[in-house]
């Protein structure tokens, strides 16, 4: 597998504006095919689907997204908390959890390790990061229990819910349950972006050799987030230079939110050698 070919393709690819109906994030997708959101990893489809949330909820999420984009965390968290309190919809609870996960990552990677003496400012950031970690995990577990309730009452199970259950377990690093969730998703028998993407994510997280073929297929389809998983796979296999190159490119192209913490982690691990 020649990764540099895909990197070159990433440079050449025309950008198509895409907007996620879940988290309202806007980004430059590769082409106009169905793709995966680079903020919350939900399906971004060009089909004229019904809106995911009510106009009021969508408006609140857009407000939080704009506030997060300008590092106004107070407005972002206040807005999100106001809609989280009454959320019984796992799709909404998941999206809010992803926001908090992003805030917690952001809080950790803004720690300045080069500050001299007792780092009071850093200590505050670490505390804040821990609080935010507790918050996103709590919301992610709530997402999972809300999904279980819905799946029990809905037959056949909705593909989006099965996908969410899978990716929620991935975010929580519970790979055993993610594996079971993937089986249920694949059992639907749909050969679409979501199921292929889910299979690739699990291979990469397990650092399975089959990652390479699965990654290649996704890269060919121009799914931007698969470059993030490619970087992860390379970093885990002693190719952190290639991984960093990919992540820097993604950040430059899109300010890809999930790429920043990974780049930071790879760089921090390197500094231990
Ligand atoms: Zn999204």
The SS3 of residue 221 is: coil
Q: Which residues pair with 18 in a beta bridge?
A: 27
Kindly give the distance from the C-alpha atom of residue 102 to the centroid of ligand 1, in angstroms, as a whole number. 12
State yes or no: pLDDT of 29 exceeds 60: yes
The boundaries of the domain holding residue 68 are: 54-177
Residue 187 Cα to ligand 1 middle (Å): 25
Asked whether residue 199 is assigned to any structural domain, the reply reads: no
Cis, peptide link before residue 156, omega less than 30° from 0: yes
Is 3 part of any domain?
A: no
- In this structure, is residue 72 part of a structural domain? yes
Cα separation, 273 vs 122, whole angstroms: 23
Q: Is residue 209 part of a domain?
A: no
How far, in Å, from the CA of 92 to the mean position of ligand 1?
A: 11
Ligand 1 centre from 95 Cα, in Å? 7
| pLDDT above 80 for 23 | yes
Residue 251 has a pLDDT of 87
Q: Which residues contact 20 (CB under 8 A, 6 or more apart)?
A: 26, 27, 37, 39, 40, 42, 44
**In this structure, are residues 87 and 95 in contact, taking their beta carbons and an 8 Å threshold?**
no
Q: Beta strand 26-30 with 15-19: parallel, antiparallel or unpaired?
A: antiparallel
Distance 34 CA to ligand 1 centre (A): 13
User: Distance from the CA of 111 to the center of ligand 1, in angstroms?
Assistant: 26
Are 6 and 227 a contacting pair, CB within 8 Å?
A: yes
Provide the domain count of the chain: 1
* In a domain? residue 156: yes
pLDDT for position 219: 87
- Using the mean position of ligand 1's atoms as its centre, give its distance from the Cα of residue 25 in Å: 6
C-alpha–C-alpha distance, residues 28 and 93, integer Å:
25
Percentages of the chain per state (helix, strand, coil), in multiples of 5? 65, 5, 30
* Residue 236: inside a domain: no
Q: What distance in angstroms lies between residue 183's CA and the mean position of ligand 1's atoms?
A: 24
Of 34, 38, 33, 31, give the one whose Cα is nearest residue 12: 31
| pLDDT tens, residue by residue, 175-218 | 999 999 999 999 888 878 899 999 999 999 999 999 999 999 88
Q: State in Å: Cα 99 to ligand 1 middle.
A: 10
* pLDDT tens, position by position, 100-155: 999 988 887 766 656 555 567 777 777 888 889 999 999 999 999 999 999 888 77
The rounded Å distance from CA 98 to ligand 1 centre is 9
Per the prediction, the chain carries an average pLDDT of: 88
CA of 18 to the centre of ligand 1 (A): 10
Is residue 195, in this structure, part of any structural domain at all?
A: no
Whether residue 71 is contained in a domain is answered as yes
Tell me how far apart the alpha carbons of residues 55 and 45 are, in angstroms, rounded to a whole number.
18
> In the predicted model, what is the mean pLDDT of residues 56-67?
96
């Amino acid at each position: 597998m020649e990764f540099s070919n895909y990197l070159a393709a990433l440079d050449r690819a025309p950008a198509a504006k895409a907007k996620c109906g879940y988290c309202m994030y806007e980004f430059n997708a590769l082409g106009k095919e169905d793709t995966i959101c680079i903020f919350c990893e939900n399906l971004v489809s060009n089909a004229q689907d019904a809106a995911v949330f009510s106009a009021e909820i969508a408006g609140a999420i857009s407000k939080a997204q704009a506030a997060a984009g300008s590092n106004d965390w107070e407005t972002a968290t206040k807005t999100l908390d106001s809609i989280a309190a009454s959320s019984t919809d796992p799709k909404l609870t998941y999206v809010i959890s992803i926001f908090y996960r992003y805030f917690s990552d952001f809080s950790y990677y803004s720690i300045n390790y080069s500050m001299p003496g007792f780092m009071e400012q850093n200590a505050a950031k670490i505390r804040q990061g821990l609080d935010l970690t507790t918050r996103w995990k709590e919301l992610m577990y709530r997402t999972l229990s809300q999904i279980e309730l819905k799946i029990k009452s809905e037959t056949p199970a909705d593909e989006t819910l099965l996908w969410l259950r899978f990716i929620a377990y991935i975010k929580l690093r519970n790979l055993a349950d993610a594996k079971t969730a993937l089986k249920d998703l694949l059992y639907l028998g749909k050969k679409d972006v979501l199921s292929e993407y889910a299979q690739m994510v699990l291979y990469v997280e397990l650092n399975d050799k089959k990652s390479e073929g699965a990654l290649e297929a996704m890269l060919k389809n121009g799914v931007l987030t698969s470059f993030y998983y490619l970087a992860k796979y390379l970093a885990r296999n002693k190719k952190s230079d290639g991984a960093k190159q990919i992540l820097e490119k993604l950040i430059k192209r899109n300010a890809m939110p999930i790429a920043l913490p990974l780049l930071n982690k790879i760089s921090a691990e390197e500094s231990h050698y």
